Amino acid sequence: MNIRFDLPDELSASAPPEARGVARDEVRLLVASPSGVHHTVFSSLGSHLLPGDLLVVNTSGTLPAAVDAGRGGRPVVVHFSTSLDDGSWVVELRAPGGPLLDGREGEHLELPGGASLTLLGPAAPGSSRLWRAAVSAEGPVPGFLAAVGRPIRYGYVPRAWPLSDYQTVFAREPGSAEMPSAARPFSASLVTRLVTDGVLFAPLVLHTGVSSPEAGEPPQAERFRVPATTAALVSWVRSRGGRVIAVGTTAARALESAADGAAEGWTDLVLGPDRPARVVDGIITGLHAPEASHLLLLAAVAGHDLVQRAYDAAVERRYLWHEFGDVSLLLRR
C-alpha cells in the first residue's frame, strides 16, 4: 500500500532555490488536509497553523560526509553514514552511477591526508551496500570530515554547493550524513513571525544516515534524542487539543520512538500500515521519490488517501522534488 505516481526527471530540484532566484522561505508549499489541497508559498505557513500548534524541529547539523578515496589505485567516494558506539562508522562505497556492492571484509581504502579505513563487515546481516568500517585518521572523524569532506549529493544535483546550503536554521549539533531538509525553507524572520503568532517550537535530535535513493531500502537504525522538555510540551499540547506537527520525517521518527516520554538512543522504528503515528498530527516535509520508504511514513501520519491526493496535485502543478525543492504540509486534522 504505497503512494503511486510517476516523477518526471525535470521535477527534481537540481540546485538550491537561492541559485534560482528564490529565497529559502519562498519555495512553494502544498497544504493537504481533510478540507482539501491548497497551493501557496512557504512564507505563508502561518496561515495554515493555529496558536498552540507545536512544531517539533530536528537540530541535527549536516556533515561534509562525502570523501574521495583510493581503492586499489582506483578512485571511489566514501559516504560516512553513521557513527557507532564503538567508534567505528557505517560507510557506503560509491561510484558515479550508484553504490558499489562488491566490498570485502578486511578491504583497505586510502583516504586523504594519509588516513585510511578498513571494512570490518556488513552493517547488517546480508547487506552488501553498507559496511562497518574502522577509520584511521588524525583526531576525531568529524574533524577529519570537516577538513577533507563535502556534502553528499546525488545525480540530480550536477554541481557542488557549499556546506552552508545544506544546513537548516535550526542546525546546532553536527551529525547527519544528509540534510534534514524539511526545515530548510525556514528563515529566522519566518520563525519570529510564527512565534509571535503563538505557534510553539520544540527541539529534538535525530542524526540521519545515508538514504541512497537508488537503493529503495527501509531506513537504517539512527541515533536520536527527545529531551524531557520536548516530551512534556508534546504531552501538554495534546492534552489541550493542539496539533503536534513534525518538521520532517526525521522528527516524526524520533517523536514516535519516544511516544511514551523522553528517550534517547537508537531507533529502528519504521512507521507504516502496521505502525501508524500515535503522537504526530501532521508533518512538514519535502517531496519524496516514488519508491522511498518515507512515503509509508507520510501515510502513517496523514492517511494514504490524503497523501495520494497531495502527490497527484504536486505532480500536476509541477512542484520540485528532493532536498532543494518545494515542501508540503500534511495534516490529518
Question: Lowest mean pLDDT: which of 43-52, 106-115, 215-224?
Answer: 215-224
Q: What is the DSSP string of 100-163?
A: -----TT-EEE-GGG-EEEEEEESSTT-SSEEEEEEE-SS-HHHHHHHH-B----TTS-S---G
As a residue count, the chain comes to 333
Check pLDDT > 60 for residue 49.
yes
In angstroms, how far is the first alpha carbon of the chain from the final one? 22
pLDDT at residue number 291:
83
Close Cβ partners of 118 (under 8 Å, ≥ 6 residues apart): 106, 107, 108, 109, 133, 134, 136
**Following CA atoms 279, 282, 285, 287 in sequence, which dihedral angle do they give, to the nearest 10 degrees?**
120
Banded pLDDT at 211 (limits 50, 70, 90): confident
pLDDT at residue number 63:
98
Cell numbers standing for residue 280: 504526530
Q: What is the mean pLDDT of residues 203-216?
A: 87
Residue with cell 519516544: 258
Residue environment code for 300-313, b if the CB has 16+ CB neighbours within 10 A, otherwise e: bbbbbebbbbbbeb
Cell numbers standing for residue 272: 507504516
Q: What is the mean pLDDT of residues 24-38?
A: 98
Cell numbers standing for residue 164: 552552508
**What's the pLDDT tens digit per position in 132-142?**
999 999 999 99
Overall pTM surpassing 0.75 (yes/no): yes
Residue with cell 589505485: 73
**What's the pLDDT tens digit per position in 298-330?**
999 999 999 999 999 999 999 999 999 999 999
**What's the pLDDT tens digit per position in 226-240?**
999 999 999 999 999
* β pairing state of 28-33 and 108-110: unpaired
Banded pLDDT at 1 (limits 50, 70, 90): low
pLDDT at residue number 36:
97
Neighbours of 269 (CB within 10 A): 19
pLDDT at residue number 97:
85
**What's the pLDDT tens digit per position in 237-269?**
999 999 999 999 999 999 999 999 999 999 999
pLDDT at residue number 218:
80
219 vs 203 pLDDT, higher one? 203
**In the chain, what percentage of residues exceed pLDDT 90?**
92
Q: What is the mean pLDDT of residues 155-175?
A: 97
**Following CA atoms 46, 52, 57, 59 in sequence, which dihedral angle do they give, to the nearest 10 degrees?**
110
- Please work out, in degrees rounded to the nearest 5, the angle formed at the alpha carbon of residue 233 by the alpha carbons of 198 and 184: 65
Q: Considering the chain, what is the average pLDDT of its residues?
A: 96
**What's the pLDDT tens digit per position in 140-162?**
999 999 999 999 999 999 999 99
Q: How many helices (H) and strands (E) does the chain have?
A: 6, 18
